[in-house]
Chain A
Amino acid sequence: MLNKGIITQIFSFILYVLVQVLLLKNIVLFDKSFCFLYIAFLLLIPVEAKVLGLMVVGFITGLAIDTFYDSLGIHAAASVFIMFVRNYWLNMLTPQGGYDSGTVPTISSNGLRWFTSYVLPLIFLHHCVLFLLESWGFGLLGFTLSKAFFSTCFTYIVMLITQYLFYTKKRSL
């Protein structure tokens, strides 16, 4: 059972990274909104995962993305950051009766409203760290924040679409 879980995680890791670097890398809306769908992979790791493992996975995923974006370290830093925050945030959002063991934090298991309040702040945090590190300072703060804001919207919408398309109750990826 555990084995099967790990294999699906590895499979979805490869899929998310490929989609990110081959497809979404080329899409920028209105000069400002980027889509970093790969963090969906990080956010959808089962709830009971330990923070140490999460951060290592975040680091590896970030490095893989950085390799293609030629931005060594930036995505890694942002991913490690949200992976560190993730479990605290999940604890704060615990629904009544707690999480079932092996729950994947998706729409189908917890509902749209819960999912939004879980995902949206983490996406925004990730994008803020990402763009601030990229601009390497606060010189273009307004521009950076607007970039982060619009990218958050874009990433969130694409994440919702993938949720409804691929993470249905019967056939989970």
Chain B
Amino acid sequence: MQRLFLFLYQYRAFLIFLFLEVICLWLIVRNNSFQSAGFFNSSNRIAGNLLQSSDNVSDYFNLADVNNNLAAENARLKQELEALNSRLQYLKLDTTYETTDTTLVTDIDTLTQDSLQIEKYQFLSAKVINKSVRNYNNYITINKGRSEGVEPDMAVIGNDGVVGKVKAASQHFAVITSVLHSDFQISSKIDKTGDLCTAKWPGNDPYHAELLFVPRHVEVEVGDSIVTSGYNAIFPEGVPVGVVSDVEITEDALFYNITIDLASNFNEIGYVYLIKNSLKTEQDSIQQEAEKFYAQ
């Protein structure tokens, strides 16, 4: 027994070294598992407040850019609103005068369905206070947390397209797993043909991503736009993911090698929108039930 203690004492440095490294590895593995809420991330109170005050300072330097972007976004939204309004008015007029028209009835049906779809998703805007772009696993910290209604697994989009999804939220801050993360996959589709595929970031270049599982019978061309499929209950359908920039296929391959230009420029993200899908639990549970049913 005494010799055991002597042995332990003699190699205490190495043993403590091993012990600390094992703790680190355990932390890394636990942090890598996709869904987790921990104290040691930038959403905790001290780190969040520090990053926020640092961001307040650096804000002044890109106010002009942010203003321009917001103005452009405003203009676009106004235009959209105008278009929708005019459509609505037209429909109202029509319903009062020609209620017998059958095509109109279906039109109104789609309209009410649309409004259901709109209510399904709730939007929440937030400001980016910290981000990384050049690591293998990149995260974004925002200035809204649980008290504003942010929850893990909410989808995050920017002005131009997909940004990521919420990983962990504290009272006033939240950490977002960016699309530039080695575990992140977006269920997407080719807008033109509707074929399903998966977008994934390969790990080196923050402007490009790969498109996986596009079978060779699909006709893909450079310039096709890729949007989210809406099949995984996190992202709504039709959010831009990117644009095809390079298409390759070898003789015997089953799938294309496709590179896309990501729609969002992660270097310049200042504001993001969080999307809450109010029907998410319902969709997930019915899908799981169906899977169970077919598994038998």
Residues of A within 8 A of B (CB): 21-22, 25-26, 28, 31-32, 34, 51-52, 55-56, 59, 62-63, 66-74, 76-77, 80-81, 84, 133-136, 139-140, 143
B203: chain A residues within 8 A (beta carbon): 135, 139-140, 143
Report the minimum CB–CB distance from A63 to chain B (whole Å): 6
Assess whether B28 is in contact with A55, with CB atoms less than 8 Å apart: no
B27 at the interface (CB under 8 A from A): yes
Stretch of B36-44, B86-94, B116-124 contacting A (4+ beta carbons < 8 Å) = B36-44
> B130-167 vs A: 1/0 string, CB under 8 Å?
10111111010100000000000000000000000000
A68: chain B residues within 8 A (beta carbon): 42, 47, 50-51, 130
Q: Contacts A73-B25, A76-B24 given: A84-B139 contact, CB under 8 Å? A: no
Contact of B41 among A55, A70, A74 (CB under 8 A): A70
Stretch of B9-17, B76-84, B186-194, B238-246 contacting A (4+ beta carbons < 8 Å) = B9-17
B74 at the interface (CB under 8 A from A): no
Assess whether B204 is in contact with A80, with CB atoms less than 8 Å apart: no
B34 at the interface (CB under 8 A from A): no
- Secondary structure at the A interface, as helix, strand, loop or mixed, is helix
Assess whether A72 is in contact with B38, with CB atoms less than 8 Å apart: yes
Assess whether B50 is in contact with A52, with CB atoms less than 8 Å apart: no
A134: chain B residues within 8 A (beta carbon): 135-137
B182 at the interface (CB under 8 A from A): yes
Assess whether A73 is in contact with B26, with CB atoms less than 8 Å apart: yes
Count, chain B residues at interface, CB 8 A? 40
Assess whether A72 is in contact with B40, with CB atoms less than 8 Å apart: yes
Contact residues, B214-255 vs A (CB, 8 A): none
Q: Report the separation of the CA atoms of residues A62 and B21 in the bound assembly, to the nearest whole angstrom.
A: 12
B58: chain A residues within 8 A (beta carbon): 26
Report the minimum CB–CB distance from A15 to chain B (whole Å): 14
Q: Report the separation of the CA atoms of residues A66 and B27 in the bound assembly, to the nearest whole angstrom.
A: 11
Contact residues, B47-69 vs A (CB, 8 A): 47, 50-51, 54, 58
Q: Report the separation of the CA atoms of residues A58 and B15 in the bound assembly, to the nearest whole angstrom.
A: 16
Could you list some 25 contacts between A and B, CB below 8 A?
A: A21-B50, A22-B54, A28-B133, A28-B134, A31-B205, A56-B20, A66-B40, A67-B41, A67-B44, A68-B50, A69-B132, A70-B139, A71-B31, A72-B27, A72-B28, A73-B31, A74-B28, A76-B27, A77-B21, A80-B20, A80-B21, A84-B13, A134-B137, A135-B182, A143-B203
